[in-house]
Amino acid sequence: SQPLPIALVGEAILKEHAIEVRDFDTALSQLAEQMALSMVAANGVGIAAPQVHSPLALFIMASRPNERYPDAPLMDPVVVVNPQILSASAELVSGEEGCLSVPGQRFSIWRHQTIVVRYQDLAGHWQQTELTGFIARIFQHEFDHLQGITLLERSQ
């Protein structure tokens, strides 16, 4: 199957608040699969449903070592549904980010170094975990997308 078209900044879908997922059905799993394929095709480390024109509260994060974060952990893609950030460290760290919806640009963005998060997996089971460093950065970037926020609104 083909990668899905990526919404570019300026498209209304990227400004909307995502809708809570209620049906953990095969359609949801198929969307997640399509998102993962699109993320890999675009050489990303994350992708949020609004970026592929879906209004659902769902994203994928898949940290891997890269030129900007050579010591980033290599992780299998994680599907995150209905995420919540329960707490965030006072410590902030500035780092360079890109966005598939703002192609070819890089921005310095402040993020919380550590966050405690809760989300559902594709089976609807709640997960709770603490994230730090680059993975926490990806989570916050994708979580912003679900609030209609892109890094253009955050760049320092």
Ligand X SMILES: O=C(O)C[C@@H](Cc1ccccc1)[C@H](O)SCc1ccccc1
Using CB under 6 A, list all residues that contact ligand X.
44-48, 66, 68, 97-101, 137-138, 141-142, 145
Residue 80 φ then ψ, to 5°? -115, 120
Q: Are 52 and 34 in contact (CB under 8 A)?
A: yes
Q: Are 84 and 118 in contact (CB under 8 A)?
A: yes
Residue 93 or 116 having the CB closest to ligand X: 93
- The amino acid at 123: A
Residue 19 or 72 having the CB closest to ligand X: 72
Residues at the contact surface with Zn ion, assessed by CB under 5 A:
99
153: annotated active-site residue: no
Binds 97: which of ligand X, Zn ion, none (CB < 5-8 Å by kind): ligand X
CB of 47 to ligand X, least distance (A): 5
List Cα–Cα distances, 49 to 44, 45, 67, 117, 144, in angstroms.
14, 14, 26, 18, 12
Binds 137: which of ligand X, Zn ion, none (CB < 5-8 Å by kind): ligand X
Q: How far apart are CA 108 and CA 149, in angstroms?
A: 16
CB of 112 to ligand X, least distance (A): 13
CB of 130 to ligand X, least distance (A): 18
Q: Which residues are catalytic?
A: 142
